[in-house]
Amino acid sequence: MRIRLSWLILICTSVVIPAVLPLTAAARPDLRESVLVAFDGQNGNFVDGLSMDSAGNLWGVTAWGGTATDCSPAPGCGNVFRLTKSRSGWTLQIIYTFQGGSDGQYPTGGLVFDAAGNAYGETGSGGSSSCACGTIYEISLRSGHYEKTEIYSFSDTSTHNDGEGPFGGLVIDSAGNLYGTTINGGNRFTCNCGTVFELSPSRRLD
Protein backbone atom coordinates (compact mmCIF):
# COMPACT_ATOMS: atom_id res chain seq x y z
CA MET A 1 0.00 0.00 0.00
CA ARG A 2 1.52 3.34 -1.05
CA ILE A 3 0.38 6.32 0.90
CA ARG A 4 0.41 10.08 1.12
CA LEU A 5 0.24 11.90 4.42
CA SER A 6 -1.98 14.98 4.69
CA TRP A 7 -1.46 17.20 7.71
CA LEU A 8 -5.02 18.11 8.64
CA ILE A 9 -4.86 20.13 11.84
CA LEU A 10 -2.59 20.88 14.75
CA ILE A 11 -4.01 20.37 18.21
CA CYS A 12 -3.10 22.59 21.15
CA THR A 13 -5.81 22.43 23.75
CA SER A 14 -6.26 22.64 27.46
CA VAL A 15 -9.05 20.33 28.52
CA VAL A 16 -10.79 20.62 31.84
CA ILE A 17 -12.71 17.49 32.76
CA PRO A 18 -15.47 18.17 35.27
CA ALA A 19 -15.99 15.86 38.17
CA VAL A 20 -18.48 13.14 37.35
CA LEU A 21 -20.72 11.83 40.09
CA PRO A 22 -20.84 8.03 40.27
CA LEU A 23 -23.98 6.46 38.89
CA THR A 24 -25.64 3.67 40.78
CA ALA A 25 -27.57 0.95 39.03
CA ALA A 26 -28.93 -2.42 39.95
CA ALA A 27 -26.62 -5.29 39.10
CA ARG A 28 -27.58 -7.27 36.01
CA PRO A 29 -28.04 -10.86 37.23
CA ASP A 30 -28.06 -12.15 33.63
CA LEU A 31 -24.52 -10.93 32.86
CA ARG A 32 -21.59 -13.31 33.15
CA GLU A 33 -17.90 -12.59 32.54
CA SER A 34 -15.67 -15.11 30.78
CA VAL A 35 -11.90 -14.70 30.54
CA LEU A 36 -10.95 -15.69 26.99
CA VAL A 37 -7.19 -15.53 27.51
CA ALA A 38 -4.87 -14.43 30.32
CA PHE A 39 -1.68 -12.76 29.11
CA ASP A 40 1.59 -13.70 30.76
CA GLY A 41 4.23 -11.36 29.34
CA GLN A 42 5.56 -13.76 26.72
CA ASN A 43 2.28 -13.65 24.82
CA GLY A 44 1.87 -9.97 25.63
CA ASN A 45 1.48 -7.40 28.34
CA PHE A 46 -0.94 -4.45 28.60
CA VAL A 47 -3.66 -5.27 26.07
CA ASP A 48 -4.82 -2.20 24.15
CA GLY A 49 -7.95 -2.40 22.03
CA LEU A 50 -9.90 -5.12 20.21
CA SER A 51 -11.33 -5.28 16.69
CA MET A 52 -13.39 -7.96 14.95
CA ASP A 53 -12.73 -9.09 11.38
CA SER A 54 -15.36 -10.24 8.90
CA ALA A 55 -14.99 -13.86 10.06
CA GLY A 56 -15.68 -13.02 13.69
CA ASN A 57 -12.08 -13.31 14.90
CA LEU A 58 -10.90 -10.85 17.54
CA TRP A 59 -7.69 -8.91 16.84
CA GLY A 60 -5.71 -6.73 19.19
CA VAL A 61 -2.30 -5.50 20.26
CA THR A 62 -0.28 -5.66 23.44
CA ALA A 63 1.67 -2.46 23.99
CA TRP A 64 4.41 -4.41 25.80
CA GLY A 65 5.42 -8.01 26.15
CA GLY A 66 6.53 -10.58 23.64
CA THR A 67 9.87 -12.22 23.05
CA ALA A 68 11.91 -9.25 21.77
CA THR A 69 14.65 -7.96 24.07
CA ASP A 70 15.55 -4.63 22.43
CA CYS A 71 12.94 -2.45 24.15
CA SER A 72 14.40 -1.81 27.61
CA PRO A 73 13.13 -0.80 30.12
CA ALA A 74 9.74 -2.13 28.91
CA PRO A 75 9.26 -5.92 29.05
CA GLY A 76 9.22 -6.61 25.31
CA CYS A 77 8.24 -4.47 22.34
CA GLY A 78 4.62 -5.62 21.91
CA ASN A 79 2.60 -8.05 19.79
CA VAL A 80 -0.26 -8.23 17.34
CA PHE A 81 -2.56 -11.13 18.26
CA ARG A 82 -5.70 -12.87 17.02
CA LEU A 83 -8.33 -14.83 18.95
CA THR A 84 -10.19 -17.48 16.94
CA LYS A 85 -13.33 -19.14 18.28
CA SER A 86 -14.04 -22.84 17.98
CA ARG A 87 -16.33 -25.30 19.78
CA SER A 88 -13.69 -25.81 22.46
CA GLY A 89 -13.21 -22.10 23.12
CA TRP A 90 -10.94 -19.29 21.95
CA THR A 91 -7.41 -19.88 20.61
CA LEU A 92 -4.72 -17.21 20.87
CA GLN A 93 -2.33 -16.76 17.95
CA ILE A 94 0.55 -14.28 18.00
CA ILE A 95 0.50 -12.75 14.52
CA TYR A 96 3.54 -10.52 14.87
CA THR A 97 6.12 -9.62 17.53
CA PHE A 98 7.71 -6.18 17.22
CA GLN A 99 11.49 -6.10 17.47
CA GLY A 100 12.04 -2.46 18.40
CA GLY A 101 14.25 0.07 16.66
CA SER A 102 13.51 0.44 12.97
CA ASP A 103 10.84 -2.29 13.21
CA GLY A 104 8.71 -0.18 15.57
CA GLN A 105 7.70 -0.77 19.18
CA TYR A 106 4.83 -0.26 21.63
CA PRO A 107 1.76 -0.74 19.37
CA THR A 108 -1.31 1.11 20.64
CA GLY A 109 -4.94 1.65 19.81
CA GLY A 110 -5.94 -1.65 18.22
CA LEU A 111 -6.40 -2.35 14.51
CA VAL A 112 -8.70 -1.40 11.63
CA PHE A 113 -9.44 -3.45 8.48
CA ASP A 114 -9.82 -2.50 4.83
CA ALA A 115 -12.21 -4.14 2.37
CA ALA A 116 -9.58 -6.73 1.41
CA GLY A 117 -9.07 -7.82 5.03
CA ASN A 118 -5.70 -6.13 5.55
CA ALA A 119 -5.18 -4.79 9.09
CA TYR A 120 -3.62 -1.45 9.97
CA GLY A 121 -2.21 -0.20 13.25
CA GLU A 122 0.30 2.14 14.82
CA THR A 123 3.37 1.97 17.03
CA GLY A 124 4.03 4.81 19.43
CA SER A 125 7.80 4.64 18.97
CA GLY A 126 10.48 3.25 16.67
CA GLY A 127 10.48 3.24 12.90
CA SER A 128 12.91 3.99 10.11
CA SER A 129 13.26 7.73 10.83
CA SER A 130 16.14 9.00 12.95
CA CYS A 131 13.85 10.31 15.70
CA ALA A 132 12.07 6.96 16.24
CA CYS A 133 8.78 8.90 16.21
CA GLY A 134 6.49 5.95 15.53
CA THR A 135 5.02 4.10 12.58
CA ILE A 136 1.87 3.05 10.77
CA TYR A 137 1.98 -0.60 9.72
CA GLU A 138 -0.02 -3.10 7.69
CA ILE A 139 -0.64 -6.79 8.45
CA SER A 140 -1.45 -8.76 5.29
CA LEU A 141 -2.03 -12.44 4.54
CA ARG A 142 0.43 -13.50 1.83
CA SER A 143 1.17 -17.04 0.66
CA GLY A 144 -0.64 -18.48 3.65
CA HIS A 145 1.07 -16.47 6.39
CA TYR A 146 0.80 -12.98 7.83
CA GLU A 147 3.41 -10.33 7.06
CA LYS A 148 3.92 -6.94 8.67
CA THR A 149 4.93 -3.95 6.51
CA GLU A 150 5.79 -0.46 7.70
CA ILE A 151 3.80 1.88 5.46
CA TYR A 152 4.69 5.16 7.14
CA SER A 153 7.39 6.33 9.54
CA PHE A 154 6.91 9.65 11.32
CA SER A 155 9.90 11.97 11.23
CA ASP A 156 8.69 15.35 12.58
CA THR A 157 11.58 17.48 11.35
CA SER A 158 11.70 21.26 11.03
CA THR A 159 10.74 20.93 7.35
CA HIS A 160 8.25 18.07 7.67
CA ASN A 161 6.13 18.56 10.77
CA ASP A 162 4.14 15.34 10.49
CA GLY A 163 3.89 14.59 14.21
CA GLU A 164 5.45 12.24 16.71
CA GLY A 165 4.00 9.37 18.74
CA PRO A 166 0.82 8.15 16.99
CA PHE A 167 -1.69 7.28 19.69
CA GLY A 168 -5.36 6.52 20.16
CA GLY A 169 -6.05 4.22 17.20
CA LEU A 170 -6.83 4.65 13.51
CA VAL A 171 -10.04 5.19 11.54
CA ILE A 172 -10.43 3.98 7.95
CA ASP A 173 -12.96 5.16 5.35
CA SER A 174 -14.47 3.33 2.38
CA ALA A 175 -11.72 4.60 0.07
CA GLY A 176 -8.97 3.15 2.26
CA ASN A 177 -7.79 6.46 3.72
CA LEU A 178 -6.45 6.19 7.26
CA TYR A 179 -6.94 8.88 9.90
CA GLY A 180 -5.26 9.21 13.29
CA THR A 181 -3.62 11.46 15.84
CA THR A 182 -0.18 12.01 17.33
CA ILE A 183 0.38 13.13 20.90
CA ASN A 184 3.46 15.22 20.09
CA GLY A 185 5.02 17.07 17.17
CA GLY A 186 3.48 19.29 14.56
CA ASN A 187 4.68 22.76 15.53
CA ARG A 188 7.57 20.97 17.15
CA PHE A 189 9.71 24.00 17.93
CA THR A 190 6.89 26.10 19.38
CA CYS A 191 4.15 23.99 20.92
CA ASN A 192 4.84 20.30 20.25
CA CYS A 193 1.11 19.75 20.77
CA GLY A 194 0.30 16.94 18.31
CA THR A 195 -1.47 16.50 14.98
CA VAL A 196 -4.44 14.97 13.24
CA PHE A 197 -3.26 13.22 10.07
CA GLU A 198 -4.57 11.42 6.99
CA LEU A 199 -2.74 8.68 5.09
CA SER A 200 -4.04 8.29 1.54
CA PRO A 201 -3.33 5.47 -0.96
CA SER A 202 -1.03 7.44 -3.24
CA ARG A 203 2.68 8.13 -3.41
CA ARG A 204 4.52 7.75 -0.12
CA LEU A 205 5.97 10.64 1.88
CA ASP A 206 8.19 9.86 4.85
pLDDT(16) > 80:
no
Is 185 inside any structural domain? no
Is 58 inside any structural domain? yes
pLDDT(132) > 70:
yes
Query: Does pTM surpass 0.85?
Result: no
Is 186 inside any structural domain? no
Of 21, 162, 169, nearest to 109 by C-alpha is 169
**Domain range enclosing 146:** 44-170
| Domains of the chain: total | 1
pLDDT(205) > 50:
no
Is 98 inside any structural domain? yes
Is 92 inside any structural domain? yes
